[in-house]
Chains A and B, each alone.
Chain A
Amino acid sequence: MSEATLVDSRAPGRGQKWVRTFLFSMRVDSPLAGLHAVTKFVLVMGVSLVLMGMISTARPDPLGCVVLVALALVLLWLSGVIRWLFRSYLVVIFPMLFSLFLSWIVFNPNPGTRILFSRQTYSGRINIGVSVAMIVFVGIIVGYYLFTKQLYWGIVGAVLAALVISQTPLNLSWTFASFPFHQPLTLIISDRTVYVAATKVLGYGAMVLMTFLLVLTTRDVEVVGALRKVPRMPYVICLFSSLMLRSLNIAMIDFSTVRQAQVARGVNVQKKNIFARIRDMAYLTVPLIANMMRRSTEISDALSARGYEMGSKPAIYREVKPFHAVDYVLTISSVVLVVAVLGGGFNLTEAVLGLIAGLKA
């Protein structure tokens, strides 16, 4: 039997370039692949704490945030995951940051020095009454639902129609009662609110990217290895967490197969409302649970066949990674950075501006 006949052409082998992680895969030569799981965790936690300080409304540090966003992007790029991340999550990340930006522009208590735009949105009184826009709004939603049994586009259309009508003289209204409530609210966009909002968005963006970086470059094996190094940690907990991760992996494969089998039975052929879709999901539990039960007995047999019994304590092999010099350096620098920013009030933007002013002087 020659080895050549056994090699599957698509199979992994010498010079494998990618390795699977919690989420997706990373390049084997990623700078984060060599780091200890603990280092990565401390690093990401540290950076997040630092960012909390940088995005404070009182002393925002946009330059610091930019530096950390850039750092995260470079590390993601070196790990080879940036394209996949943007392709899969941009749809979620972008609207999230955009809505954050809007809300920080609007709800900033400090109006700043130069007001760019101002408009009262709430007069401080609640009026009870009827208006044409309101009737149109309700009418479109109800009508659309009656005809199509769907809601989404009905609501979108109704909002648009109501907005348009409320801006025209056609929007007649009849007020039955009116009473004061809360103080008047005014939408103010000023230099200061834009500045703070931009910093917040950059800061949260960096946090999101850093968290992605952690799950995209950490392997389950590393976590189990790190657990084994915890003093007096019973082995059964390491084994349990390892098996749990593995079962989750199998369950995900099962889920996708079962879901496909359901689609093949025509579950998507008819248009359905949200409740029918939830009911469809409920049907998946029958095959999923049946498979899980079967698998759990088989996994316990497989464990016994390898010689595992309660109380076994296997020898430590390569799963426990040594803590290298670079791990110490990175861990300590994260701690230093946290202390400098949160404790010492270090602010990169102010420091750079100060430096420039000093040079000019």
Chain B
Amino acid sequence: MSVVKIENLFWRYPAFVGKMNPWALQGVNLQIEKGEFFGITGPSGAGKTTICKSIMGLIPHSMRVPANYINEHVQGSVEVMDRLVCGVDTEANVVEEVARGKLLGEPVRPPLAGMVFQDPENQFLTMSLLYEVAFGLQLLGLARDEIDERVREALHMVGLGHLWEDAENIHPADLSGGQKQRVAIASFLAMRPDLLILDEPTSDLDPIGKSEVIATVRRLKEEHDLTVILVEQDPEILFDFCDRIALVCNGQVDLVAEPERFYSEFEFLNERGAYTFEVSRIAYGAKVCGEDEVPKSIEEARAVLTKVSGEPTDDLVSSDSEKVIEVDDLWYQYEDGTVALFGADLVLRRGETMGLLGNNGSGKTTLAKILTGLYTPWKGKCLALGEDVFQRRVRRELPMKIGYVFQNPDHQIFTRRVFDEVAYGLNCIGVKGEEVEARVREALERVDLADLADEDPLFLGKGQKQRLAVAAVLAMRPEVIIVDEPTTGQDYRMVSSIMALLGELHNAGGTVLIITHDMTLVANYCQTVTVLRDGRTVFAGTSRELFSSPELLAAAQLRAPQAITLSCELRKERPEFPLLLNEREWVEALTRRS
């Protein structure tokens, strides 16, 4: 039996001023069966969220489509569990002898279906964990004991059972981003829906937390005969947990297949900007296999990618270059008394690109904010470019020397014109006249936004906004750039472009500190890494050292990318096999052979 049936769905977001928006969905056809774990993937802006919202009926019913323009905005139909969610009577509503169309159907209500959105902050509607999970149940009109029972059960399901006793006293601000996402999932699980839609619910989580959450949902699906729709970018998650995967691109469903066959369509996925497996890219890039036999797992790759010769050239980490940042036994305490750093250490040398790693809440961002003068450290030693960060004067001038790109570009756009945005920081630090013009042009060139200098930054795409944020910092010509989670929640193309940009910065001699969960990014661009755990430094060394030790990775709760796992696996049998860190090294080593 089909739980979801979408037929030839067209949808256009209403524009309240000016000309009409283009179609966001252009003839979507999709059938999802009962009990399926169904994955949806594709580049940003392809229409993945739009499809999910139309399954819920939020589109078109909550969208205020002008009544006389229904036919221009909606076509096709959506049925969920044999109920019409969206349909259009195209012949109805005749005005001035033209049929304008009439919307049919009703949105799906819980407990039939629930949808967890991307940003956990915005879904937390109340001020207490208990009432948050209970809210939907109160709307269902359940009795107090029943609500108690279900809230407790739901918290347990998502691994937050230990919070039940204090649930009433827990404020959203007490929870980490990952915990908030679990709460969002729990608040729907408590309603015991038949269909659960998860729209990139794990983008804020560290890799381990991410697979734990999805594994929980998968287990619940098995136990309660749930149907799950999961929007996700990560091929490993989709491959491991989904029964079928759909590729959404330009408002259409381009491909629906079982994971095995889905990721075999390597060229097809690549052209459409979807994530593919690293081992597939290596094998295909080095031309050791045809398109239809690209490896997807480590197991498959072992069979194909064994004939490698030569040691990879080791990264040159000049340990004698000048220390630009030196942190020794640094402590930090928040105003409310929470201690976030318990003696962190970090040494960053000129010209180095370093990865600052650690799980959610390990103190990475706190440390970075101290280094840029935003937070005042508590005790310990902290030198930035030879100056003591404990001094107020030094902290005030740090932004000129250490640039900080925040995680969310929406938080750092202060003007309504791309050019002004880059010039803003320059004006703040007192750069004047033609110098401003020259620096802005140069920075925009470097991030490839020179053509958009007169646009309004608020209307740029997410990837462009992020590059703009980098440009705004670059123009200030800082000696060190700190980039916070540059790849979180972005699609493959955006990640590639931001990675290329960071690579260029490094090649131009820049000193870069990257805060990230993305191990592929680290393996590609960071020569050294510092790993924090619970506010302490647990590892500092080269990325090669970190990735060559599975024990270290496990202790730091990190997960190596496929390229490294593969070389580690091969080295178990053949210790002379080189530790190849990334796609580039692999492809080089493989092509050298031929």
A complexed with B = yes
Quick one: given A8-B179, A10-B338, A254-B411, are A260 and B58 in contact (CB under 8 Å)? no
Contact A315 B143 (CB under 8 A): yes
Q: Of all chain A residues, which has the CB nearest B427?
A: A266
A261 to B166, CA, bound (A): 34
| Interface check A14, CB cutoff 8 A | yes
Contact status B412-A305, CB under 8 Å: no
What chain B residues lie within 8 Å of A19 (beta carbons)? 169, 171
The number of residues on chain A lying at the interface, defined by a beta carbon within 8 Å of a beta carbon of chain B, is: 71
Q: Which residue of the partner chain, among B122, B138, B404, contacts A302 with CB atoms under 8 Å?
A: B122
Task: Check B58–A305 contact: CB distance below 8 A.
Answer: yes
Check B411–A257 contact: CB distance below 8 A: yes
**Bound complex: CA A312 to CA B136 (Å):** 11
Contact of B425 among A253, A266, A291, A304 (CB under 8 A): A266
Contact B165 A266 (CB under 8 A): no
CA A25 – CA B172 in complex, angstroms? 13
A-B contact count (CB 8 A): 230
Identify which of A14, A28, A246, A315 contacts B125 (C-beta below 8 A): A246
Whether A221 touches B117, Cβ cut-off 8 Å, given contacts A261-B406, A261-B411, is no
Q: Which of B126, B159, B173, B396 contacts A268 (CB 8 A)?
A: B396
Verify A221–B128 contact, CB threshold 8 A: yes
Q: Are A249 and B397 in contact (CB under 8 A)?
A: no
**Residues in A whose Cβ lies below 8 Å from that of B251:** none
Closest approach, in angstroms, between the C-beta of A131 and any C-beta of chain B? 40
Minimum CB distance partner of A265 in chain B: B425
Judge whether A264 and B127 touch: CB under 8 Å: no
Q: Mark B451-486, 1 if CB is under 8 A from A, else 0.
A: 000000010000000000000110010000000000
> Does A264 contact B161, Cβ atoms closer than 8 Å?
no
* B449 at interface, CB cutoff 8 A: no
Q: Mark A231-269, 1 if CB is under 8 A from B, else 0.
A: 000000000001101100110011001101111111111
A13 partner residues in chain B, CB cutoff 8 A = 162-163, 166
A307-B361 in contact (CB<8A): no
Distance of A261 from chain B, by nearest CB (Å): 4
Q: Is A220 an interface residue (CB 8 A)?
A: yes
CA distance A310 to B159 in the complex (A): 33
How close is B422's CB to chain A, nearest CB, in angstroms? 10
Contacts of B172 in A (CB 8 A): 246, 249
Per-residue CB contact flags for chain A residues 273-311 toward chain B (1 = under 8 Å, else 0) read 000000000011011001100110011111111111100
In the bound complex, do residue A249 and residue B173 qualify as a contact, i.e. CB atoms below 8 Å apart? yes
**With a CB–CB cut-off of 8 A, which chain B residues contact A309?**
109
Contact A318 B534 (CB under 8 A): no
A5 at interface, CB cutoff 8 A: yes
Stretch from B413-421, B489-497, B583-591 at the A interface:
B413-421
A39 CB, nearest partner CB in chain B, Å? 19
Tell me the bound Cα distance from A7 to B134 in angstroms.
22
B410 contacts across to A, CB distance below 8 A: 287, 290-291, 294
Asked if A284 and B162 sit within 8 Å, CB to CB, the answer is no
Interchain CA distance A269-B128 in the complex, whole Å: 40
0 or 1 for each of B153-189: is its CB under 8 Å from A? (1 = yes): 0000001111101101111111110110000000110
Q: Are B404 and A12 in contact (CB under 8 A)?
A: no
Whether, in the assembled complex, A180 has its beta carbon less than 8 Å from a beta carbon of chain B, the answer is no
Q: How far is the CA of A266 from the CA of B412 in the complex (A)?
A: 12
**Judging by beta carbons under 8 Å apart, are B374 and A11 in contact?**
no
Residues on B with beta carbons closer than 8 Å to the beta carbon of A301? 53, 58, 62, 117
Contacts of A220 in B (CB 8 A): 127
Say whether A175 faces chain B, with CB atoms less than 8 Å apart. no
Q: Which of B408-452 contact A (CB under 8 A)?
A: 408, 410-416, 424-425, 428-430
- With A19-B171, A249-B127 as known contacts, state yes or no: A317 contacts B134, CB within 8 Å: yes
Tell me whether A125 is interfacial, beta carbon within 8 Å.
Answer: no
Q: Counting CB contacts under 8 A, is B94 at the interface?
A: no
Taken residue by residue from 503 to 532, chain B's Cβ proximity to chain A (1 for < 8 Å, 0 otherwise) reads as 000000000000000000000000000000
Distance, CA A28 to CA B213, complexed state (A): 30
Given contacts A257-B406, A304-B58, contact A318 B125 (CB under 8 A): no
Taking CB atoms and an 8 Å cut-off, the chain B residues in 205-245 that contact chain A are: 208-209, 212, 215-216, 219
A5-B212, A20-B174, A264-B406 known, 12 other contacts, Cβ within 8 Å: A11-B163, A13-B163, A16-B166, A16-B169, A260-B374, A261-B412, A265-B399, A269-B429, A306-B187, A307-B140, A316-B144, A317-B137
19 CB contacts below 8 A, A to B, read A1-B219, A8-B176, A12-B163, A24-B336, A28-B169, A253-B121, A264-B372, A264-B374, A264-B403, A265-B425, A266-B428, A269-B429, A286-B415, A301-B62, A302-B117, A304-B62, A307-B136, A317-B131, A318-B144
User: Which chain B residues have a beta carbon within 8 Å of chain A's beta carbons?
Assistant: 53, 56, 58, 62, 107, 109-111, 114-115, 117, 119, 121-128, 130-131, 134-144, 147, 159-163, 165-166, 168-176, 178-179, 187-188, 191, 208-209, 212, 215-216, 219, 336, 338, 360-361, 369, 372-374, 396-397, 399-400, 403-404, 406, 408, 410-416, 424-425, 428-430, 458, 472-473, 476, 534
Chain A residues with CB under 8 Å of chain B are 1, 3, 5-16, 19-20, 24-25, 28, 84, 219-221, 242-243, 245-246, 249-250, 253-254, 257-258, 260-270, 283-284, 286-287, 290-291, 294-295, 298-309, 312, 314-319
